[in-house]
Amino acid sequence: MTTIQTNLQRVLNELDGSNTRLVAVSKYHPAEAISQAYECGQRIFGESHVQELCAKHENLPADIEWHFIGHLQTNKVKYMAPFITLIHSVDSMRLLHEIDRQAMRCNRTIDCLLQVHVAKEETKFGFTPDELLQVLDEGEWKTMTHTRICGLMGMATNTDDTEQIRSEFHTLRQLFDTIHANHMPQPTFRELSMGMSHDYKIAMSEGSTLVRIGSSIFGDRTY
């Protein structure tokens, strides 16, 4: 086994028996690294740059499920609309509209997660919990026919304070439950994307259904 395959197996062992699925975050790593994980059965890969995503999609097996996890500009949606499986990072209604429009042009429905800002950092994108509840109350999302809101995504503050991380994930979990109860009772609203290499075990204990793990599998990224 290669280092990537050993790392992947270790992470998969941690997820074994849970309800959490792995998004292997392959951004900045070459197609060859993805192929190694693919050979071990991994099929879900996460990317955060549109051009890189599209190039990899063209050159790698067709049964890979590509997830987009980075900040997405509306003018780039059209490039991934034909094939993307899940967009984790919807942070405005304007973006959701554009995804809906491009999905319609491709005759598909695109699954989306709404990104929520729970971290104590200025740099993270996403709706604040209050903004999100307001936007959902306004109900414009109900007019969209080619997108399906399947859950929420969030990032905790980049800190060693595990209690802070836990509390931020807990906030996200509670927001998910509130929205599921009040706005989106449908069973397809079921994904909570939270947890990265350094905090995914905490995220799992707070109810994460998707963890997005990069460096623990593929090693450090060189930008």
Ligand X SMILES: *Cc1c(COP(=O)(O)O)cnc(C)c1O
- 27, 56, 67, 173: which one contacts ligand X (CB under 6 A)? 27
- Give whole-number Cα distances, 84 to 44, 99, 108, in Å: 11, 11, 10
Considering only residues 105-134, where is the footprint of ligand X by CB under 6 A?
Answer: none
Based on the shown chain and the rule CB under 6 A, indicate whether residue 53 belongs to the binding site for ligand X: no
Burial of 186 (0-12, 13-18, 19+ CB in 10 A): exposed
Q: Which residue is nearest to ligand X (CB)?
A: 214
Question: In terms of CB distance, is 152 or 196 closer to ligand X?
Answer: 196
Distance CA 118, CA 113 (A): 15
Residues 126/116, Cβ–Cβ less than 8 Å: yes
197 binds ligand X (CB under 6 A): yes
Query: Contact between 69 and ligand X (CB under 6 A)?
Result: yes
Residue from the set 126, 129, 154, 214 that interacts with ligand X by CB under 6 A: 214
Give the shortest CB-193-to-ligand X separation in angstroms: 8
**47/168 Cα distance (integer angstroms):** 24
According to DSSP H, which parts of the chain are helical?
Answer: 3-15, 31-39, 50-59, 77-80, 93-105, 129-138, 162-182, 200-205, 215-218
Q: Is 48 in the site for ligand X (CB under 6 A)?
A: yes
Rounded to the nearest 5 percent, the helix, strand and coil shares of the chain are 45, 20, 35
**54 touching ligand X, by CB under 6 A:** no
157 binds ligand X (CB under 6 A): no
156 contributes a contact to ligand X by CB under 6 A: no
CB of 201 to ligand X, least distance (A): 12
Q: Is-contact 115 71, C-beta < 8 A?
A: no
Does residue 213 touch ligand X according to CB under 6 A?
Answer: yes
For the bound state, the minimum distance from the C-beta of residue 38 to ligand X, rounded and expressed in Å, comes to: 18
- List residues near ligand X by CB under 6 A: 25, 27, 48, 69-70, 196-197, 212-216
